[in-house]
Amino acid sequence: MTSWLVALNVGILVALLVVLYGLQRRHLSFSTRVLVGLGLGLVLGLALQAAYGAGSGVVAQTAQWYAVVGSGYMRLLQMVALPLVFISILSAFTRLQTASDVGKIGGWVLAVLLVTTGIAAVLGIASTLGFGLHRSGLAEAAATATPSEDLGARMQRLQSQSLPQKFLELIPTNPFLDLTGARPTSVIGVVIFAGLLGIAYLGVKRRAAEQAADFARLVEAIYGVVMGLVRIVLRLTPYGILAVMARAAATSNLQAIVSLGEFVVASYVALAAMFAVHLLILAASGLQPTTYVRKAWPALGFAFSSRSSAATLPLNVSAQRQLGVPAGVADVAASFALSIGQNGCAGIYPAMLAIIAAPAVGIDPTSVSFLVTLVAVVVLSSFGVAGLGGGATFAALLVLSTLNLPVGLVGLLISVEPLIDMGRTLLNVSGSMVAGIVTSRVTGSLDVGVYADRSRTVEVSA
């Protein structure tokens, strides 16, 4: 009987995938198809949970088949992510004229990312204190919670390193190993390696222009091929999102979400407040926030459903281009933000957990000295956070271990991680876009006409 029910559930998924293909054949826009896939997946997943229960054998077996489409799609995204980061950074150097241009753009991008991460930490602290989570059952549980075996191993590794050693860990020793994503800091390792190659290219350009021109043509050719591969994968987005959401909704522990509902609500209040800060920054730069939301939606919606900043990289760059950001700046902003200054994962989340955990070791979470130290540690720890799923956990462990706070709290929140991580990833991507736009605005390279042109939006050709 179970096998027949599983077959029925798989058949429903296949039927919905066919519906999405029909919408593509009717030339419905890419962003609309992504939204439809997201909605259909959510409804299907909740229906499966209502019919069988999240822990049933039918749902477990169905989820394995759904993972063939959903997880298979995510694997393809991870396959192209690091090569795209590498070639995007390198091509940014070949498009810029001098090292000073690179330094100016990189400096502004880093400044915006780090400042906004600091603001995000403050908003996370304010939301946690406002909801009184430092006096809740979560705070009491933090004192006695025992980290899981996996979290314990990661915590032990982090605690065995001093702060200088943690920074040293960011420097790559084998860039080819980092291109496989083998280390937690692989993304920033790839960024550093690509940046050094780019600087070397600029040096060769001054001494041997012909050789540099050959290298630049090679880089642009590889960039074109990689982007072609990216477009192939992105065409699968509506189908992948449908399966990912269906599986997530069907297997989510709704009771745990309800029991931790106050933390979920407090998290989204902080995330919404920080997104409003992004819009205020754009308004202060003389740009229309509603235009930004309209053009950025395909990338932001994809980030929300995929929970991967790295997977969103191609749409991130495309959205920035449609907002008038030059290609070189867009590549730098999108790539840097994969491992530095993620407003949601490295800003809001670890700050909230630190406030909740502080009373467990006798620290007053409202103490000015503790709050200043916390924000500084959050900003410094935002270097090297992976742009793939699990980056927030790594950031939280890093901040809590640095401040000698109990890390078991991270394990207590695992059940609601997927729900909150969607909003955090959206905010991460928005922060990188704002960094690119503000940098372009400050350096005078933003095409305001393109930004204001509402007819130009991100699409992925079928």
Q: Rounded to an integer, what distance in angstroms lies between the CA atom of residue 307 and that of residue 241? A: 11
Q: Tell me which amino acid residue 137 is.
A: G
Identify the residue whose tokens are 């040293």: 168
Task: Show the DSSP H helices in 323-390 as ranges.
Answer: 327-336, 349-357, 368-381
Burial environment of residue 312 by CB neighbours within 10 A (0 to 12, 13 to 18, 19 or more) = buried
Give me the long-range contacts of 395-400 (CB less than 8 A, separation at least 24): 395/342, 395/345, 395/346, 395/349, 395/350, 396/349, 396/350, 396/353, 397/151, 397/154, 397/155, 397/158, 398/158, 398/166, 398/350, 399/350, 399/351, 399/353, 399/354, 399/374, 400/350, 400/353, 400/354, 400/357
Q: What is the DSSP letter of 236?
A: T
Q: Rounded to an integer, what distance in angstroms lies between the CA atom of residue 63 and that of residue 81? A: 25
Q: What is the pLDDT of residues 339-384, one digit of tens each?
A: 788 899 989 999 999 999 898 888 999 999 999 999 999 998 887 6
Q: Rounded to an integer, what distance in angstroms lies between the CA atom of residue 239 and that of residue 223? A: 26
Q: Could you tell me which of 449, 297, 379 has the C-alpha nearest to residue 118?
A: 379
Q: Rounded to an integer, what distance in angstroms lies between the CA atom of residue 295 and that of residue 447? A: 15
Q: Could you tell me which of 315, 284, 320, 274 has the C-alpha nearest to residue 442?
A: 284
Give the pLDDT confidence score for residue 80 in this predicted structure.
84
The CATH class given to the 2-452 domain equals: mainly alpha
Q: Could you tell me which of 140, 158, 188, 177 has the C-alpha nearest to residue 360?
A: 140
Give the pLDDT confidence score for residue 296 in this predicted structure.
92
Q: What is the pLDDT of residues 75-110, one digit of tens each?
A: 888 788 788 888 888 887 887 655 567 778 889 999
Q: Rounded to an integer, what distance in angstroms lies between the CA atom of residue 390 and that of residue 404? A: 21
Query: Which residues lie below 8 Å from residue 8, measured CB to CB, with a gap of 6+?
Result: none
Give me the long-range contacts of 13-16 (CB less than 8 A, separation at least 24): 13/44, 13/65, 13/66, 13/69, 13/242, 13/243, 13/246, 16/40, 16/44, 16/242
Q: Rounded to an integer, what distance in angstroms lies between the CA atom of residue 426 and that of residue 303? A: 5
Q: Is the pTM of this model over 0.75?
A: yes
Identify the residue whose tokens are 């950031």: 395
Q: Tell me which amino acid residue 407 is.
A: V
Query: Which residues lie below 8 Å from residue 247, measured CB to CB, with a gap of 6+?
Result: 45, 63, 66, 67, 70
Helix, strand, coil % in the chain, rounded to nearest 5: 80, 0, 20
Return the CA Rg of the chain. Answer: 22
Tell me the Ramachandran region of residue 35: left when phi exceeds 0, alpha when psi lies from -120 to 50, beta otherwise.
alpha
Q: Could you tell me which of 364, 314, 390 has the C-alpha nearest to residue 150?
A: 390
Query: Which residues lie below 8 Å from residue 444, measured CB to CB, with a gap of 6+?
Result: none
Give the pLDDT confidence score for residue 462 in this predicted structure.
41
Q: What is the pLDDT of residues 314-343, one digit of tens each?
A: 789 889 999 999 988 888 898 888 878 889
Tokens of 50: 């209502």
∠ Cα 183 187 188 (to 5°): 105
pLDDT (tens place) for every residue of the chain, 462 residues total? 688 899 999 999 999 999 999 998 998 877 788 889 888 998 999 999 989 887 788 999 999 999 999 889 888 887 887 888 888 888 878 876 555 677 788 899 999 999 999 999 999 999 999 999 887 767 666 555 555 555 555 555 555 666 677 677 778 888 888 887 777 677 778 888 988 898 899 889 888 989 989 999 999 899 889 888 888 888 888 898 899 889 888 887 776 667 678 889 999 999 999 999 999 999 999 999 999 999 998 889 888 877 778 778 878 988 999 999 998 888 889 888 887 888 999 899 999 999 998 988 889 999 999 999 999 999 988 876 655 555 677 788 888 888 888 777 777 777 677 788 889 999 999 999 999 999 999 999 999 999 998 766 655 544
Inter-residue contact 379 to 117 (CB < 8 Å)? yes
Q: Rounded to an integer, what distance in angstroms lies between the CA atom of residue 264 and that of residue 90? A: 39
